[in-house]
Structure 1
Amino acid sequence: MKASTRLGLRGGLVRPASATDGAAEPDRQALPGPRLARVILKVALFSYLSITALNIISTGLGAAADSAAIAALLLVFALQLRHSAPGAGRRPARQKALTLGAQALLTYLPLIVLHAQWGALGGFLSGSLLLLLPPRPGWTLFVLVGLSMFLPPLLRGQGIVDSIYLCQSTLLTGLVVYALSHLSEVIQEVHDARGELARLAVVRERLRFARDLHDLLGFGLSAITLKSELVHRLIPLHPERAVQEVDDILSISRQSLSDVRRVASGFRDMSLAQEVTSAESVLNAAEVAVRVEVATGEIGRQVENVLAAVLREAVTNVLRHTKATRCAIGVTADGERVTLSVVNDGVAAGRRDTDAHGGSGLGNLAMRLREVGGALDSGALPDGTFHVRASAPAFVPDGSPQEAR
Structure 2
Amino acid sequence: MVALGFFTASVVATVRNRDGLAYQLTAVMVLLVLLGFQILHAGPRRLERSWWPWSLLAHGVATYLPFLVFDGSWVGIPGSFAGSMLLTVATPGAWLLFAALVAGQYPICAGLGGTPGQCLNASVSTVVGGSVVYGVARLAELTAELRAARTELAERAVDRERLRFSRDLHDLLGYSLSVAALKCQLAERTVLEDPQRARAEISEVLAMVRQAMSDTRWISSGDLRVSLTRETRFAASALRAAGIGVEVELDQGTLPPEHDAVLATVVREAVTNLLRHSAARRCVIRAGRDELGAVSLLVSNDGVPAENAPQEPGGGQGIGNLTGRLLAVGGRLTAQEGESGWFHLSAVIAARPVGERPGAG
The two structures share one fold, judged by TM-score above 0.5? yes
What letter is aligned with 1:340?
Answer: L
2:14 corresponds to = 56
1:361 aligned to 306, 318, 325, which one?
A: 318
8 Å Cα contact 1:320-1:353 kept in structure 2: no
In structure 1, what is the Cα distance between the partners aligned to 2:335 and 2:62? Answer: 73
What letter is aligned with 1:61?
Answer: D
In structure 2, what is the Cα distance between the partners aligned to 1:135 and 1:90? Answer: 17
Alignment of 1:218 with 2:174, yes or no, is: yes
2:159 corresponds to = 203
Shift of the 206–251 alpha-carbon distance from structure 1 to 2, 3 Å rule, reads: same
1:24 corresponds to = none
In structure 2, what is the Cα distance between the partners aligned to 1:156 and 1:373? Answer: 74
SS in 1 for 2:346: strand
Q: TM-score, normalised by structure 1?
A: 0.83
8 Å Cα contact 1:322-1:346 kept in structure 2: yes
8 Å Cα contact 1:300-1:395 kept in structure 2: no
In structure 2, what is the Cα distance between the partners aligned to 1:116 and 1:283? Answer: 96
1:107 aligned to 63, 71, 83, which one?
A: 63
Alignment of 1:339 with 2:296, yes or no, is: yes
Structure 1 range deviating more: 302-311 or 347-356:
347-356
Correspondences of 1:93-104 after superposition (within 5 Å): 95-104=51-60
Alignment of 1:237 with 2:193, yes or no, is: yes
1:286 aligned to 242, 246, 253, which one?
A: 242
Deviations 1:140-183 (Å, cap 9, x if unpaired)? Answer: 22122212211333123333232222112202221221121122
Identity %, equivalent residues: 36
Deviations 1:242-291 (Å, cap 9, x if unpaired)? Answer: 10111011111222222332223433121111111111111111121111
Shift of the 259–399 alpha-carbon distance from structure 1 to 2, 3 Å rule, reads: closer
1:398 aligned to 343, 357, 360, which one?
A: 357
2:121 aligned to 146, 156, 165, which one?
A: 165
What letter is aligned with 1:292?
Answer: V
Shift of the 196–385 alpha-carbon distance from structure 1 to 2, 3 Å rule, reads: same
SS in 2 for 1:66: helix
Shift of the 125–394 alpha-carbon distance from structure 1 to 2, 3 Å rule, reads: same
Shift of the 368–142 alpha-carbon distance from structure 1 to 2, 3 Å rule, reads: same
Alignment of 1:117 with 2:73, yes or no, is: yes
In structure 2, what is the Cα distance between the partners aligned to 1:236 and 1:400? Answer: 53
Shift of the 343–187 alpha-carbon distance from structure 1 to 2, 3 Å rule, reads: same
SS in 2 for 1:150: helix
In structure 1, what is the Cα distance between the partners aligned to 2:316 and 2:111? Answer: 84
How far apart are residue 48 of structure 1 and its match?
A: 2.1
How far apart are residue 230 of structure 1 and its match?
A: 0.8
8 Å Cα contact 1:123-1:169 kept in structure 2: yes
Deviations 1:5-49 (Å, cap 9, x if unpaired)? Answer: xxxxxxxxxxxxxxxxxxxxxxxxxxxxxxxxxxxxxx2222222
Gaps of 5+ in 1: 1-42
Structure 1 range deviating more: 287-296 or 56-65:
56-65
Alignment of 1:386 with 2:343, yes or no, is: yes
Aligned residues: 358
How far apart are residue 399 of structure 1 and its match?
A: 6.8
How far apart are residue 351 of structure 1 and its match?
A: 7.6
8 Å Cα contact 1:219-1:312 kept in structure 2: yes
8 Å Cα contact 2:86-2:95 kept in structure 1: yes
1:315 corresponds to = 271
In structure 1, what is the Cα distance between the partners aligned to 2:305 and 2:65? Answer: 89
Alignment of 1:73 with 2:31, yes or no, is: yes
How far apart are residue 125 of structure 1 and its match?
A: 0.8
What letter is aligned with 1:44?
Answer: V
Structure 1 range deviating more: 260-269 or 270-279:
260-269
Q: TM-score, normalised by structure 2?
A: 0.93
How far apart are residue 194 of structure 1 and its match?
A: 1.9
2:143 corresponds to = 187
Structure 1 range deviating more: 75-84 or 294-303:
294-303
8 Å Cα contact 1:275-1:312 kept in structure 2: yes
1:4 corresponds to = none
Shift of the 196–306 alpha-carbon distance from structure 1 to 2, 3 Å rule, reads: same
Gaps of 5+ in 2: none
1:3 corresponds to = none
How far apart are residue 354 of structure 1 and its match?
A: 4.5
In structure 2, what is the Cα distance between the partners aligned to 1:175 and 1:90? Answer: 23
How far apart are residue 50 of structure 1 and its match?
A: 2.1
SS in 2 for 1:391: strand
What letter is aligned with 1:80?
Answer: Q
